[in-house]
């Protein structure tokens, strides 16, 4: 229905006139039913920190402030507060709501953050949620390591024997040679006896016999040992009989971070942190809210700027730039190194002796800034003294090291080493000079080397120049250029162009080659036709082809092994060679035979094995020479091989029923577990065992394992009645029959199981799993008696 316009105007006029006659009442009082809207309230409030829920606790709040009634509950829920008393006092006082800092919609900026003097909250009273913020100076910093130093070794008495044998021979008279060498470490915790011995054509020889002890940050040694000092090495290593006290980084647990510039971040929320060098993503990880140390353990050595991008859980992104430096050439800033050794000098650097007089050597090395360090060392003999020192500097894309030596008998030395990276190119140099004579100095010499690498014409150009002069003899100069360019890389086929030019004092050699390689899972083959040109004392030219093929395989007993056959040629001289290589749990073995037109036939053979003992157990083998390790046993009836997993990496294969050797690096803590290989059903100890190993330490670990068979059957009584809803006992966990008597259980082998019927009576049934197929035995109906 529509009203006429005139009638509508009359109604509006009447309403307006009535409104003028009625009095208007204004009041500050709340409407009826809302009298307590501004009164303080007490309720449970959800407390969030860094965007993560921490605790629900009682709080009292009004229209403008909130006060927590149990501040201790909030403190207990946080693990990164340095000054708990100050924060607790602040939380117990009335705090502003800061409701104006609430984010009202997704993507809103300039909200959701707070910078309190001690502690503050952003309180959303509609959701009873309080987001907590604490001043960063009152928080602890989460570092990468819980401890500065390694734990004490977790093993008892143990021994490690590293044995190696080498044999070489040929068709010429007097060409044969052999050598047997061993390193034995007898250890008890952080104490050990070191020995090194050799047996060759000159007879037996012991070059080291000393006691060592590690304490956090230091190493003590007494006996006959190799002296070592500064990295400049003007004075070569010697064998002395005496004592040594030296600062050591070996026991540092945080060394991967300590040798780099520490970078700390304050994160208001849990965040993803991306680390870039130029435009390359180097690392990425998630970090909790608070003061956090950036994990730089996987960043490359050098000095460069890092761009750190922080992506907070609140959706905001922040970008920071830090200068970063890492080098192992200098000790950490927090631990300068000192060393002092004294004793009697051997007259032969390779054997134990005391006939060359007194020896004292001491020095220090320290990092003065993150990119600058210095070394200083003094060496004193009965009739001569040396002082040497140097500086090391690191910058963005470059490093430089300089050293000087001065001796009282007139010997001097100088060295300068450096490297520079520019874009995709690099330049390095090394200059050393020793003049004068001394009892320990080598003959006077000077040597300089410059190396250059550049990207050129979609390939790479390598250059090297070396100048050497010894004892005022004629200089021996060597210059070389090599250009290599990939031509094809598809479907396992690779072709490269290789051009090499070199010149020494008398000859020039030029080679142009085309190298092709083919690779699949078991074989690598190479063909290399090349043109050679030589001028000088061996002038000539030829067009020749080199070829080789290598077969690779893996076997449970032999481990990883390979066989290689090759033919090589140069200026008409041909060489044919063949080789075998095996790396397994039993050790390492390599053999090679070669025949050439000019040198006849020759052969070499090398073997290495480790022998470890601990807790009355003996194991030998290992894929690498060990200084510490594990003896892993897997008792039980399992015939399955197991992967030995150390710190989530597969490092070895362990066979059941034998002592398996796993060589590991000393001065580290490890987490060790096993996993079965293959599809066979196995019940095994899946616990993780933690060990800390120093040199000579061997941990003996046992993991129980049993092959299991899945048995499926149906239980009936002697009268043929189904044994329904019965409980099968003694198998661990719950096992039983269903309403029709069917059951499925896992058993380690044939045997008898106990059954408790639904009425409480018991019976037994025999299981014969000899006919199991693929780990499953279908036994049909079985009589429970």
92: domain CATH number is 3.10.20
Give 599-651 pLDDT, tens digit per residue.
Answer: 788 889 999 988 999 999 998 877 777 899 999 999 887 778 899 999 999 98
d(Cα 406, Cα 435) in Å, to the nearest integer? 10
| pLDDT above 60 (res 273) | yes
Q: What mean pLDDT do residues 697-703 have?
A: 94
111 or 414: whose pLDDT is higher? 414
| pLDDT above 90 (res 737) | yes
Tell me whether residue 434 is in a domain: no
206 Cβ partners below 8 Å, 6+ apart?
195, 196, 197, 224, 351, 352
Instruction: Decide: 290 and 139 in contact? Cβ < 8 Å.
Output: yes
d(Cα 50, Cα 133) in Å, to the nearest integer? 8
Tell me whether residue 264 is in a domain: yes
Tell me whether residue 187 is in a domain: no
Give 17-56 pLDDT, tens digit per residue.
Answer: 554 555 555 555 566 655 556 678 888 999 999 888 999 9
| pLDDT above 90 (res 295) | no
Instruction: Decide: 634 and 674 in contact? Cβ < 8 Å.
Output: yes
Going by C-alpha positions, the residue among 314, 317, 311 that lies closest to residue 122 is: 314
Distance of CA 363 to the CA centre of its chain: 31
Domains in the chain: how many in total?
3
Instruction: Decide: 667 and 691 in contact? Cβ < 8 Å.
Output: no
- Helix (H) / strand (E) element for 592: namely strand 587-596
Give 186-215 pLDDT, tens digit per residue.
Answer: 999 999 999 999 988 788 888 899 999 999
The maximal CA–CA distance of the chain, rounded, in angstroms, is: 137
Query: What is the structure's pLDDT at 640?
Result: 82
Going by C-alpha positions, the residue among 284, 289, 255, 282 that lies closest to residue 272 is: 284
Q: How confident is the model at residue 392 (pLDDT cuts 50, 70, 90)?
A: very high
Tell me whether residue 694 is in a domain: no
- Helix (H) / strand (E) element for 781: namely strand 776-783
Partners of residue 265 on adjacent β-strands:
292
Q: What mean pLDDT do residues 90-100 have?
A: 92
Q: pLDDT > 70: what percent of the chain?
A: 92
Query: What is the structure's pLDDT at 1?
Result: 46
Tell me whether residue 1 is in a domain: no
Q: What mean pLDDT do residues 771-785 have?
A: 87
65 Cβ partners below 8 Å, 6+ apart?
94, 95, 96, 97
21 Cβ partners below 8 Å, 6+ apart?
none
| pLDDT above 50 (res 354) | yes
d(Cα 325, Cα 319) in Å, to the nearest integer? 19
Going by C-alpha positions, the residue among 748, 765, 744, 766 that lies closest to residue 756 is: 765
Query: What is the structure's pLDDT at 38?
Result: 62
Q: 302: domain range?
A: 260-326
Query: Looking at 96, 117, 139, which one is the last position of a domain?
Result: 139
Query: Looking at 326, 343, 369, which one is the last position of a domain?
Result: 326
Averaged pLDDT score across all residues of the chain: 86
User: How do 776-783 and 762-767 pair as beta strands?
Assistant: unpaired
Half-sphere exposure of residue 474: CA atoms within 13 angstroms, side-chain side: 6
Tell me whether residue 744 is in a domain: yes
Q: How confident is the model at residue 309 (pLDDT cuts 50, 70, 90)?
A: very high
Q: What beta strand segments (E) does 436-475 contain?
A: 445-456, 459-470
| pLDDT above 80 (res 342) | yes
Query: What is the structure's pLDDT at 192?
Result: 96
Residue 270's domain is classified under what CATH number?
A: 2.60.40.3110
Query: What is the structure's pLDDT at 104?
Result: 79
| pLDDT above 80 (res 572) | no
Per DSSP, the chain holds a count of helices (H) and strands (E) of: 4, 53
Cα angle value 207/210/212 (rounded, 5°):
140
d(Cα 77, Cα 69) in Å, to the nearest integer? 15
Query: Looking at 107, 139, 171, which one is the last position of a domain?
Result: 139
Distance of CA 4 to the CA centre of its chain: 89
Q: How confident is the model at residue 174 (pLDDT cuts 50, 70, 90)?
A: low
Q: What's the sign of the alpha-carbon dihedral 278, 279, 283, 286? A: positive
Tell me whether residue 743 is in a domain: yes
Partners of residue 606 on adjacent β-strands:
166, 590
Looking at residue 424, the DSSP 8-state letter turns out to be T
Residue 30 structure tokens? 């709340």
Residue 371 structure tokens? 């990119």
121 Cβ partners below 8 Å, 6+ apart?
66, 95, 97, 98, 114, 130, 131, 132, 133
Residue 775's domain is classified under what CATH number?
A: 2.60.40.2070
Tell me whether residue 103 is in a domain: yes
Burial class (CB in 10 A: 0-12, 13-18, 19+), 145: middle
Instruction: Decide: 649 and 581 in contact? Cβ < 8 Å.
Output: no
Strands lying side by side in the sheet with 271-277: 280-287, 271-277, 302-312, 317-326
**First-to-final CA distance of the chain:** 94
Query: What is the structure's pLDDT at 246?
Result: 95
Going by C-alpha positions, the residue among 438, 445, 443 that lies closest to residue 381 is: 438
Query: What is the structure's pLDDT at 571?
Result: 60
Instruction: Decide: 373 and 351 in contact? Cβ < 8 Å.
Output: no
Q: How confident is the model at residue 398 (pLDDT cuts 50, 70, 90)?
A: very high
Distance of CA 617 to the CA centre of its chain: 29
d(Cα 68, Cα 92) in Å, to the nearest integer? 5
The predicted model scores a pTM of 0.76
Query: What is the structure's pLDDT at 317?
Result: 86
């Amino acid at each position: 229905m529509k009203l006429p316009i005139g009638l509508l105007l009359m109604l509006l006029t009447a309403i307006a006139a009535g409104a003028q006659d009625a009095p208007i009442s204004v009041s500050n009082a709340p409407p009826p039913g809302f009298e307590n809207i501004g009164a303080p309230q007490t309720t449970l409030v959800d407390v969030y920190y860094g965007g993560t829920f921490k605790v629900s606790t009682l709080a009292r709040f009004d229209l403008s402030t909130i006060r927590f009634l149990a501040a201790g509950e909030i403190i207990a829920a946080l693990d990164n507060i340095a000054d708990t008393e100050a924060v607790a006092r602040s939380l117990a006082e009335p705090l502003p709501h800061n409701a104006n800092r609430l984010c009202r919609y997704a993507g809103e900026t300039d909200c959701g953050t707070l910078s309190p003097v001690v502690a503050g909250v952003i309180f959303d009273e509609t959701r009873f949620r309080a987001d907590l913020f604490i001043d960063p100076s009152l928080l602890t910093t989460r570092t990468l390591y819980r401890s500065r130093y390694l734990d004490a070794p977790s093993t008892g008495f143990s021994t490690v024997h590293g044995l190696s044998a080498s044999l070489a021979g040929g068709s010429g008279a007097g060409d044969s040679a052999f050598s047997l060498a061993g390193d034995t470490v007898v250890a008890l915790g952080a104490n050990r006896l070191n020995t090194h011995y050799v047996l060759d054509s000159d007879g037996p020889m012991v070059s080291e016999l000393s006691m060592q002890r590690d304490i956090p940050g230091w190493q003590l040694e007494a006996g006959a040992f190799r002296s070592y000092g500064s990295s400049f090495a003007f004075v070569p290593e010697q064998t002395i009989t005496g004592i040594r006290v030296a600062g050591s980084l070996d026991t540092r647990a945080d060394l991967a971070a300590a040798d780099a510039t520490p970078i700390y971040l304050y994160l208001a929320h849990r965040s993803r942190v991306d680390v870039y060098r130029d435009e390359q993503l180097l690392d990425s990880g998630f970090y909790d809210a608070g003061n956090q140390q950036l994990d730089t353990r996987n960043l490359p050595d050098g000095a460069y700027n890092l761009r750190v991008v922080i992506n907070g859980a609140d959706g905001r992104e922040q970008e920071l730039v830090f200068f970063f430096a890492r080098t192992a050439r200098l000790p950490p800033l927090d631990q300068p190194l000192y060393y002092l050794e004294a004793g009697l000098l051997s007259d032969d650097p390779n054997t134990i002796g005391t006939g060359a007089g007194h020896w004292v050597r001491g020095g220090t090395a320290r990092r003065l800034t993150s990119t600058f360090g210095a070394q200083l060392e003094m060496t004193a003999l009965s009739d001569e003294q040396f002082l040497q020192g140097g500086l090391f500097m690191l910058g963005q894309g470059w490093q430089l090291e300089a050293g000087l030596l001065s001796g009282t008998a007139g010997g001097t030395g100088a060295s300068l080493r450096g490297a520079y990276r520019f874009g995709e190119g690099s330049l390095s140099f090394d200059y050393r000079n020793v003049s004068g004579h001394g009892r320990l100095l080598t003959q006077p010499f000077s040597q300089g080397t410059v190396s250059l690498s550049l990207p050129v014409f979609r390939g790479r150009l390598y250059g090297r120049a070396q100048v050497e002069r010894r004892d005022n003899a004629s200089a021996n100069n060597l210059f070389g250029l090599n250009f290599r360019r990939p031509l094809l890389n598809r479907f396992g086929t690779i072709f490269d162009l290789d051009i090499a030019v070199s010149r020494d004092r008398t000859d020039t050699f030029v080679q142009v080659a085309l190298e092709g390689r083919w690779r699949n899972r078991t074989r690598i083959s190479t063909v290399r036709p090349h043109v050679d040109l030589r001028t000088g004392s061996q002038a000539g030219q030829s067009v020749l082809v080199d070829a080789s093929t290598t077969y690779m395989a893996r076997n449970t007993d032999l481990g990883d092994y390979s066989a290689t056959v090759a033919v090589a040629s140069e200026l008409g001289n041909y060489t044919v060679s063949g080789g075998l290589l095996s790396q397994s749990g039993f050790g390492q073995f390599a053999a090679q035979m070669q025949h050439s037109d000019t040198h006849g036939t020759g052969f070499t053979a090398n073997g290495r094995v480790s022998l470890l003992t601990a807790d009355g157990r003996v194991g030998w083998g290992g894929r690498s020479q060990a200084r510490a390790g594990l003896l892993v046993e897997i008792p039980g009836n399992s015939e399955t091989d197991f992967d030995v997993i150390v710190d989530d990496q597969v490092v070895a294969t362990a066979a059941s029923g034998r002592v398996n050797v796993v060589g590991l690096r000393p001065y580290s803590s490890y987490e060790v577990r096993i996993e079965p290989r293959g599809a066979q059903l196995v019940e095994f100890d899946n616990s993780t065992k933690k060990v800390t190993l120093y040199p000579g330490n061997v941990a003996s670990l046992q993991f129980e394992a049993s092959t299991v068979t899945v048995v499926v059957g149906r239980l009936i009584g002697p009268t043929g009645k189904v044994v329904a809803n019965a409980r099968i006992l003694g198998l661990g966990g719950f096992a039983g029959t269903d309403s029709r008597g069917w059951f499925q259980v896992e058993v380690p082998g044939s045997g008898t199981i106990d059954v408790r019927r639904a009425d409480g009576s018991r019976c037994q049934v025999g299981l014969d799993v000899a006919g199991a197929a693929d780990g499953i035995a279908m036994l049909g109906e079985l009589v429970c008696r």
